[in-house]
Amino acid sequence: MTGNIYITGFMGSGKTTLAGTLAKILRRPFIDMDELFSKQNDMPITSYFETFGEEKFREAETKLLHKIGLKKGRVVSTGGGVPISVKNRNIMRESGRIVHLDLSLNDCLSRLGTDADAVRPLWKDPVRVSELYNKRRAAYEDCDIWIDASNKTAVDLSWEICERLHPRLSIDVNLGPTTHPMIITWRSPDEISTYSNEAKKFVVTDGCVFKLHMDRFSDVLQDATVVSLPAGERSKTLVSAKRLYESMLREHLGRDSLVIAIGGGVITDLGAFVASTYKRGVKFILVSTSLVGCVDAAIGGKAAVDLKEVKNPVGCFTFPSAVVLDLRALRSLPRRCISEGLVEAYKTGLVANHSLAELIEDNVVDLLKGDLLILSEVVRLSASAKAEIVGKDFRESGLRRILNFGHTYGHAVESFNNYGLSHGVAVAIGMMVATSLSENRELMDTRRATKIQATLRSFVKGRFVMPSFDEAWKIMMNDKKSRKGRITFVLLADCGEPVYVDDLQPDELEAAIQNVRDQQNG
């Protein structure tokens, strides 16, 4: 949802407090219409109202609303009388969604106190206030979302609005012989409780996730064994797997136990791998708290660990009981983690979903700022697209290979830099190289290639070392995507039109690598 959110309600209903809180949660700019009106007219609303009259005030208010409506991605606290006008309601609906904050008149009176008439021009006559409250009800009812504000905090109301804008979504994911639900939700702990029952629970997470999010899960995991690993790719190893196996043995976990992996791609990969190999397999749930995990890593039933300089050579296909994509956790992500997730989502959009690719291209600035509602839409589109691809080709014998776009050279970049470069940046570089190859082979027109390269550069900042053809080839030959001594690249003809090639020549790959180097240095 890229449009504005307009909070309406009677005087004293708490519009400004809610709008400010919601804006912080969503990482969106906040506009208080009353405050902005006073600032632009260099006088309090009371003075304007008394000097020019209500009719002129309403006209000026509509002009201000129109200017706000020309922007996007704002959370707006409207004046109490803004929704009265049909024209105003049309402006709000055309540029966003109207959320009405409902509160009884008595509660509004108690919140405002006895000093309200000094700052609110219509508040001086109690009888008129009551009539006004009842008269405005019909206009307030013409909204997109009606929220009961009684006995709720601004934070609780904010999350309720998120849930109403993007309701819980459950998608069945087919993994060969089994099917499991993939649940996109703002209430992850509720989902865990439906699966845990009386099973002995073993939780795998990392230090960062433990600090930021485990309080939300404490009620449903109070009797669980929790193992927290260091955050980062270096935990995705056989050494870490051994540590988890030994801990599970100490806790006497049997095959009727439940493993719950809560974290980003490293944790969900490792947790799925360990659960699927411990005692030949125990039930497990993946709860993804990173954007990378929500759009890609936690979806699809594959798990693996790294071995020395090679990424993911030891792994297996897995069958989770459920995958939960935790939308609330996205709010805590720093820009670099958002960027990494957007790379994976953009990859999926380019090979399988034009609407997803376009959403990212058109909103990349706001997405990188962490706009939570647009990010949640990216999650929905990307997760759905990947689930559909996986359902058609679980074991990666055909269609699923399109998801390797950018990963062939990207994994070589990541390994060559000894994993000091983030996975997202490495894959973005790989996608840039693959796009350059696509353009050079005349599969893709220059205009489209330029748009893709420009978007990818938004995710690749700073200096990095790109391996040459010879250096990359040695690494790529050990990659799991290598077949019979040949390395397959996924290229693009256009969005949703991937092309497989296995006849890449050294000079053309070197030329594509140099092209990306030049773009970054230029």
Tens digits of residue pLDDT in 354-395: 999 999 999 999 999 999 999 999 999 999 999 999 999 888
CA-based end-to-end distance of the chain: 34
Percent over 90 (pLDDT), the chain = 72
> Is a pLDDT exceeding 90 seen at residue 199?
no
Across the range 55-65, mean pLDDT stands at 95
Tens digits of residue pLDDT in 393-408: 888 778 888 999 998 8
H or E element in which residue 24 lies: helix 15-26
Q: For 237, which DSSP code?
A: B
> Is a pLDDT exceeding 70 seen at residue 121?
no
pLDDT bucket at 69, cuts 50 / 70 / 90 = very high
Contact of 494 with 354, CB cutoff 8 Å: no
pLDDT bucket at 487, cuts 50 / 70 / 90 = confident
Quickly tell me which residue has 């809610």 as its tokens.
Answer: 18
Across the range 115-127, mean pLDDT stands at 58
* Cα gap 500→104, rounded to integer Å: 63
> Is a pLDDT exceeding 60 seen at residue 4?
yes
> Is a pLDDT exceeding 50 seen at residue 88?
yes
Contact of 368 with 158, CB cutoff 8 Å: no
> Is a pLDDT exceeding 70 seen at residue 114?
no
More confident: 39 or 49: 39
Q: What is the pLDDT of residue 187?
A: 95
Classify strands 96-102 and 75-77 as parallel, antiparallel or unpaired: unpaired
pLDDT bucket at 420, cuts 50 / 70 / 90 = confident
More confident: 8 or 311: 8
Across the range 324-347, mean pLDDT stands at 95
Q: What is the pLDDT of residue 522?
A: 62
* Cα gap 381→357, rounded to integer Å: 10
Q: What is the pLDDT of residue 37?
A: 95
Q: Which residues, in sequence order, are bridge partners of residue 229?
A: 206
* Cα gap 407→348, rounded to integer Å: 12
pLDDT bucket at 118, cuts 50 / 70 / 90 = very low
Across the range 19-30, mean pLDDT stands at 97
Tens digits of residue pLDDT in 275-301: 999 999 999 999 999 999 999 999 999
* Cα gap 133→10, rounded to integer Å: 7
> Is a pLDDT exceeding 70 seen at residue 1?
yes
Across the range 490-495, mean pLDDT stands at 91
Contact of 451 with 346, CB cutoff 8 Å: no
> Is a pLDDT exceeding 90 seen at residue 169?
yes
Q: What is the pLDDT of residue 330?
A: 97
pLDDT bucket at 126, cuts 50 / 70 / 90 = confident
Lowest model confidence (mean pLDDT) among 98-102, 230-234, 451-455: 230-234
Lowest model confidence (mean pLDDT) among 43-52, 120-129, 233-242: 120-129
Q: Across the chain, what does the average pLDDT equal?
A: 91
* Cα gap 74→169, rounded to integer Å: 25
Taken in order of first residue, the domains within the chain and their CATH numbers are: 4-165 (3.40.50.300), 169-335 (3.40.50.1970), 405-521 (1.20.1090.10)
For 218-321, strand residue ranges (E) read 225-229, 258-263, 283-288, 302-307, 310-317
> Is a pLDDT exceeding 90 seen at residue 12?
no
Tens digits of residue pLDDT in 456-485: 999 998 777 888 888 888 888 766 555 555
Residue 349: other Cβ atoms inside 10 A: 26
Contact of 424 with 343, CB cutoff 8 Å: yes
CB under 8 Å, gap of 24 or more: what pairs does 424-427 form? Answer: 424/292, 424/336, 424/339, 424/340, 424/341, 424/342, 424/343, 424/344, 424/459, 425/339, 425/340, 425/343, 425/459, 425/460, 425/464, 427/343, 427/344, 427/347
Radius of gyration of the chain from its Cα atoms, rounded to whole angstroms = 27
Cβ burial of 76 (10 Å; 0-12, 13-18, 19+) is buried
More confident: 501 or 309: 501
Tens digits of residue pLDDT in 422-452: 888 999 999 999 999 999 999 999 999 999 9
> Is a pLDDT exceeding 50 seen at residue 115?
no
